Amino acid sequence: MEFTGDDLKNLLASKTLEIGKEILVYDEVESTNSKANELLNLGYPSGTVIIADTQTKGKGRLGRKWISPPGKNIYMSIALQPNIPPKYSTLLTLTSAVACTTALRRNTDVPVMIKWPNDMLVNDKKIGGILTEMKIEGEKIKSAIVGIGINLNMTEEDIPEDIKDIASSLRIYKGEDFPRNIIIVEIIKEFDRWYQLLEKNQRKTIIDRWMQLSDTIGRQVKIVLSDKELIAIAEAIDEEGRLIVKLQDGTYEKISAGDVTLLRTK
């Protein structure tokens, strides 16, 4: 890795309240989420950030693998002990997506959008995703690990054939490489800012920003749930972060978890 945790802390210059107080950088881990969970259990503070040059068992949502070539992309996880009720747990993922997308748009000049709840897209191709893993005990979120994967400097050759039509990178879009350390620091700063709003119950501010950045609202979507498949129009987000969709029979449904595909037609 071309930088250390201390290098990143120096760039941050203590501009955050909670995120990035501890930053650990590894050449290789199985998964940054697993490492973050391990460190939280060892007593590292909420807000600890784990970064790896590569992952041997990178995790995506729904049990998928996250392709993690070394020296190219951002693989990081943030270990948290959120002070929010479990019913707003989906909002943590939405908050994370807002933070990452805002940082990327500002620092790469690429029009990144969000697909509910957690994918970052450019021209309908995925350039990043968020995997949130939580432990909930009663009415309290005991811990939350937010994993962030961003395809920063991958080339066309780095992307496996079977996902070339759905995945891309910021480099492919812009035709230039981006410094990983600078982008990581900007993500940490934005994450801290939006996470503080979530902890202060500023949910409307987060949802309004999410709606501005959304590539989902107004689109026809296919939603695969554990027991059924829906075709619907995505209409809004409720205060818990659930996707409100209008079904073909005119009724509405709230989706808290599921695999969403954007269909090409509006």
Question: Does the pLDDT value for residue 118 go beyond 70?
Answer: yes
* 204, containing H or E segment: helix 203-213
Q: 3: closest CA among 104, 71, 58, 103?
A: 71
List the beta bridge partners of residue 149: 75, 129
Average pLDDT over every residue of 34-54: 96
Cβ contact 248:265 at 8 Å: no
**Token couple for 42:** 């060892």
Q: 122: closest CA among 58, 166, 184, 59?
A: 166
- pLDDT computed for residue 266 by the predictor: 47
The hierarchical CATH code for the domain 220-262 is 2.30.30.100
- 60 pLDDT band, cuts 50/70/90, is low
Bridge-based pairing state of the strands 119-122 and 125-137: antiparallel
Domain ranges of the chain: 5-213, 220-262
Report the interhelical angle of 203-213 vs 180-199 (nearest 10°).
140
- Rounded to whole angstroms, how far apart are CA atoms 66 and 91? 23
CATH number for 5-213 (one of 3.40.50.970, 3.10.560.10, 3.40.605.10, 3.30.930.10): it is 3.30.930.10
- pLDDT computed for residue 58 by the predictor: 66
DSSP letter at 256?
S
